[in-house]
A and B are shown apart, each in its own frame.
Chain A
Amino acid sequence: MKIRYNSKALMDLCLIAIAVAVIITALKWPLKTALFPVVVGAPVILMAMADLLLNLFGREKTVEKQAAVDFKLSEDIDQTLAIRRTLLASAWIIGFFLMILFFGFHLAVPLYVFLYLKLQGRERWRISLLLMLSAWVFFYGLFVWLLDTPFQEGWTFKGLRAIGIIG
């Protein structure tokens, strides 16, 4: 029998590992805490193992037929290009997180909108600056001024304050 190693099987393995870890940890707890994790974990292991076996040994046609009635990623784009764009989009998302971490929301929001529009969107200077300003007005007006949301300072400013460069 031919074994088909694939990423779907890896997803199953991850779920099995999580469920096994949950059960092993739960066994150390009193019954009232462990009851639900064990009741949920055990069938999850069984189902994930069944899916793993189907992925490894099931008929390819059946495996391919499985589809969630949910949002689907675009399929009409060249795969290499799709992977490249996915990685790029993920990098922009993580980049935004890092900007927030280092500069705080106040600076990260306008900076990110501008950089995305200019570097990724290749928009004109005027549009980029106008939208950057709109984003900042929206953020500051709604969240800071109107809703009074406390936003943390970025690490950069905390560091500069700690060494006494800014007051």
Chain B
Amino acid sequence: MINLQFEPFLYMLIGSAIGFWVGILPGIGGGTALALMMPFIYKMTPQEALPFLLGMHSVVATTGDITSVLFGIPGEPTTVATIVDGFPMSKKGEAGRALGAVLMSSLIGALFGAVFLAFSIPIVRPLVLAFGSPEMFMVIILGLTCISTLSGQGKRGLLLGMMSGGFGLLCSLVGQDRQAGILRFTIGQLYLWNGLPIIPVVIGLFAIPEIIDLAVRGTAIAGDVSFGNLGKGVKEGIKDTFHHFWLTLRCSFIGSLIGIMPGLGGAVAQWVSYAHAAQSAKTMEERAGFGKGDVRGVLGPGAANNSKEGAGLIPTVVFGIPGSTGMAILMGAFFLLGLVPGPDMLTKHLTLTYSMVWTIALSNIIIVVVCLLFINHLANLTTVRGNLLIPFILMLCFIGAYTTNNHIGDLIVLLVFGGIGYLMVRFGWPRPPFILGFILGSLAETYLYTSTTRYGADWLYRPKVIILFFIIVAFILYPFIRGKKLLRENEEPGEDQI
């Protein structure tokens, strides 16, 4: 087993340790951290780099829950739902119980996701092998549509998401064309012949806007919130997880199902699971307790945002369609390591694919044990002043970007895309579709070109292409149908209103 060999295990430990802090600090997201760490994998083998990156990424949601519970500030965008009941528990003096519950449910969720990934690989394998270039092109479009639909609110959100994805595809055009060797939009710069480098683009797009916002807030990273003794009730929280074991498992399953769908990601998984946990209330009184510190409201999202990690690897590894921003960046790492997501990962690199399952499981077990041991001390970091953190985060951003090509152009790309990222955030353009479009652009172009060259326009009539087309249409229509349904529900008075 790769993960138990010395070097991969060491890299996994290092990655998990970084992920541990990244999850706790609200200023840096899991995706940003992945992007920052990508320059370090150049000299690593895939057997070392994947445990390092995945070990880091898979524990971020686990420790991100800690900040959500303690301060009501999400450590990660995928840990927002934990706040709803976790923070009121902290305010009631049950922070230890909430942390015990969220950490244990996170561990169960992560293990469930890893098992889900392991068992899904043989099932999806024949499906993937039956997909040719036309189907793969349609799957890319489907991925972009999914992420566009869900990364914005309503019909307008879909439009903005699609525009953002299209912009990402346009940016991927820069560089030497693979088909004819023609230089596209290189503005006479040799530096751009290989296209815009992924790492500076991703760091600029994701880290710079968050750094600017941290500077604008001008407070400590977790604001001015103080905390008391957190150690109390941890055991009770762990017991709660096993007391509501089936709920935890059901929410893990929901997280895995959502994780497997490209574009949905942890943010959706946690809210659906929270809704499911709230639905599990048997009486009106129980239901009323949600949002005021019910431990089940912590268990559901805690399990789901971790179980989606393993499942989220399925579309990434098997179809080359990342399920989330983090997975999109992780897929960038695949390419840097010379791995092409798709059928090869299920044949030639199957051992590597299974090592990912073990990475998710092992790193989460280790991190949860560490968290439970040092629960009192680790939360102190969130009170570090933003002014102390900013120069260090910026230093990491600049060095991280520069090490891509060791060229000053990397820093210019970082700044340009930092500006673009800020404007996108400022004007409500979702960034995940952009990054998906940017990363998948060259792959989509190759599939489109191969399909057209081989089949002419006939590829459009292939049965699987038609099925995928209708699925895409369904995703496009989804916000419209949902909007009308909500409108109808609002117009019809409820029973209690009559």
Contacts and interface: CB of A to CB of B under 8 A. Distances in A.
The answer to whether A and B belong to the same complex is yes
Interface of A: 7-8, 11, 15, 18-19, 22, 25, 29-30, 32-33, 35-37, 39-41, 43-44, 47-48, 50-51, 54, 62-63, 65-74, 77, 82, 85-86, 88-90, 92-94, 96-97, 100-101, 105, 109, 112-113, 116-117, 120-123, 127, 131, 135, 139, 143, 147, 149-152
Contact of B394 (A32, A68, A96, A105): A96
Interface string B153-177: 1101101111100110110010001
A32 B179 contact: yes
Interface residues of B, number: 71
Nearest to A143: B399
B150 interface: yes
A22 B177 CA distance: 14
Given A66-B156, A77-B217, A100-B411, A90 B163 contact: no
Please classify the interface of chain B as helix (H, G, I), strand (E, B), loop, or mixed, using the class held by over half of its residues: helix
Contacts of A143: 399, 403
Contacts of A116: 387, 390-391
Interface of B: 29, 40, 43, 77, 150-154, 156-157, 159-163, 166-167, 169-170, 173, 177, 179-180, 182, 184-185, 208-213, 215-218, 267, 385, 387-388, 390-392, 394-395, 398-399, 402-403, 406, 408, 411, 415, 418, 423-432, 444-445, 448-449, 452-453
Contact of A36 (B77, B425, B432, B444): B444
Contacts of B427: 7-8, 11
A43 B159 contact: no
27 contacts: A8-B428, A11-B427, A15-B167, A25-B185, A32-B179, A33-B182, A40-B173, A43-B166, A54-B159, A68-B151, A68-B428, A68-B430, A69-B267, A71-B431, A73-B216, A73-B426, A77-B216, A93-B415, A100-B402, A101-B411, A113-B395, A116-B391, A120-B387, A121-B388, A143-B399, A147-B40, A147-B403
Contacts of A29: 177, 180, 182, 184
A135 B393 CA distance: 11
Contacts of B43: 147
B172 to A, nearest CB: 9
A65 B213 contact: no
A121 B385 contact: yes
